[in-house]
Amino acid sequence: MIKAYVLVVANPGATKTVRDALVAVKGVVECHEVMGPYDIVVEIEVEDLSEVPIILGEHIRSVSGVESTTSLVTFPG
């Protein structure tokens, strides 16, 4: 299992809407609003590393209100 953490910056006032959209994305297992330089932390679990760019590009970055993302992909154990 591959895990990735995505740190999301959302447009001001859109954080809850963005979070609600991200919770529905296949592969997302945790999604939390946070305080600090990022607005949302998303945890993704997938079977194959090749799934991560698809989820990021087609299902997370495309959500209206997402300004930017930073991705942290874990090493398989």
| Residue 10: HSE in the Cβ half-sphere, 13 Å Cα cutoff | 25
What percentage of the chain has pLDDT greater than the value 70? 99
What percentage of the chain has pLDDT greater than the value 90? 94
The pLDDT of residue 49 is: 92
Residue 31: both structure tokens together: 């999604």
Higher pLDDT, 62 or 75: 62
Domain extents in the chain: 2-36+52-68
Is the separation of the CB atoms in 69 and 9 below 8 Å? yes
pTM of this structure: 0.93
Separation CA 19–CA 50 (nearest Å): 24
* Span 22-56, pLDDT tens digits: 999 999 999 999 999 999 999 999 999 999 999 99
The pLDDT of residue 75 is: 84
